Amino acid sequence: MRSARVVVLALLFALPGLSKAECQFYLKDGDRVVFYGDSITDQRLYTTFTETYAVTRFPKANLTFVHSGWGGDRVTGGGGGPIDLRLDRDVTAYKPTVVTIMLGMNDASYQPFRDTIFNTYAEGYRHMVEKLKADNPGVRLTLIKPSPYDDVTRKPKFEEGYNSVLIRYGDFVKDLASKSGVDFADLNTLVVDATKKAFESDPEGAVKLNPDRVHPGPGGQLLMAYALLKAWNAPSTVSYVAIDARNGKEAPTTTAAENAKVTDLAAADGSVRWEQLDEALPFPIDLKDGPTDLAVRSSDIVAGLDREVVKVVGLDADSYNLSIDGEVVGTFTKAQLAEGANLATLATPMAKQAAAVHQLTLKRAKAHNDRWRSFQVPNQSYAKTPGFAKALEGLDAFEGEILAEQRAAAQPKAHKFELKPKS
């Protein structure tokens, strides 16, 4: 099996030029997003990956996120109450502008397709869409084809497998989205395709993408986030800088700068130096986690979401060390730099900053979950008391403090770059 380092490095080079007209991202400044679903959403993995992408790629935008998954839920509701209560308390109360719904894993009852079971799902899903649209005028809904039951790395439990049932449910969801004039995302197909590819190269590792066949781990949920972000036209560009070093014959020049500002560009003693301030941070991907690394190697997620490219032509030496803020982050050949090197998966100061943002995303999401699941719901009988309202106000303020910290941490910083011939 090829090493993770070799495969990741293969993703860093030979990237085509970035388009200046990438599709407009689905989320807009001021959006309030509620992720609704069952235990797979309740894991707060694909949802927090999506939140971190949005916060790091659009650090100036005012975007807020609520993670309202509840284990065991169906279109009729579940442990958190019947569906109308769930929607009122856990969605509409937040005055969302965007709502995603992913249900189906439990609804299909882990058995071959049955018309009676499916009809309950179809009727309940239609009700959810109608109620959300009526209670939240102008809301943008994204209905999600359920994530897969893993029939790839282990034998199906019955003919054709349970995921084939989920696909049929998902096809209904797609049709309902079309008929209802709302949006749709497929969180099944891309994950299955990547799992098949992973299973071919690393059968044992592929099992860890979805350890219990139902609840994907971080690697599998990273793929789910990618599928949702693709459906939302997420731009791949973090930044793109192109420099002509002029072989030392003239002063170097910046020939392109997308989502970035280059200053203090100079060349001396065969080296090229500049200061760069990007408008975004890379999407943090933990390649030290084995299943996550496998997910990356089995998909095009880096090219699709994480292009932080530096391209330099007109260099003399055969290879160069790239330093950022005085620390070497990578070594590249002249040819690789001329093609364009993607820095997003390297241990750059920008990547470390983005990883810190993701930790704050997780912290903020947990603070809200504790407020909701550990206090609000269990103490609902006190809902009309002054103390209850005051406690919620305090918990909301605490979450707001973490949110402010997350947003501050997501603001890009200027960094000093140097390309120096490797001795």
Task: Calculate mean pLDDT across residues 33-59.
Answer: 98
Q: Could you tell me the pTM of the whole model?
A: 0.94
pLDDT of residue 382: 97
pLDDT of residue 352: 98
Instruction: Give residue-wise pLDDT tens across range 337-370.
Output: 999 999 999 999 999 999 999 999 999 999 999 9
Task: Take residue 68 and report the two structure tokens written for it.
Answer: 């309202």
pLDDT of residue 416: 98
pLDDT of residue 247: 73
**CA–CA separation, 352 vs 341, rounded Å?**
18
**CA–CA separation, 310 vs 342, rounded Å?**
7
List the CATH number of the domain containing 172: 3.40.50.1110
* Burial category of 176 from C-beta neighbours within 10 Å (exposed 0-12, middle 13-18, buried 19 and up): middle
DSSP, collapsed to helix, strand or coil, labels residue 20 as coil
Q: How confident is the model at residue 82 (pLDDT cuts 50, 70, 90)?
A: very high
Give how many domains the chain has, as a whole number: 1
Domain that holds residue 218: 26-231
DSSP symbols for 156-214 = -SSTT-HHHHHHHHHHHHHHHHHHHT-EEEESSHHHHHHHHHHHHH-HHHHHTTSTTSS
Is 365 inside a domain boundary? Answer: no
pLDDT of residue 246: 86
Instruction: Give residue-wise pLDDT tens across range 190-228.
Output: 999 999 999 999 999 999 999 999 999 999 999 999 999
Instruction: Give residue-wise pLDDT tens across range 86-107.
Output: 999 999 999 999 999 999 999 9
Is 279 inside a domain boundary? Answer: no
Is 296 inside a domain boundary? Answer: no
pLDDT of residue 23: 59
Contact between 72 and 106 under an 8 Å Cβ cutoff? The reply is yes
Is 125 inside a domain boundary? Answer: yes
pLDDT of residue 423: 82
Task: Take residue 242 and report the two structure tokens written for it.
Answer: 């192109």
Task: Calculate mean pLDDT across residues 289-295.
Answer: 97
Is 334 inside a domain boundary? Answer: no
Is 331 inside a domain boundary? Answer: no
Is 359 inside a domain boundary? Answer: no
* Among the listed residues 73, 40, 79, the one whose alpha carbon sits nearest the alpha carbon of residue 214: 40
pLDDT of residue 18: 35
* Torsion-angle region of 95 (φ positive above 0: left; ψ -120 to 50: alpha; else: beta): left
* Burial category of 1 from C-beta neighbours within 10 Å (exposed 0-12, middle 13-18, buried 19 and up): exposed
DSSP, collapsed to helix, strand or coil, labels residue 143 as strand
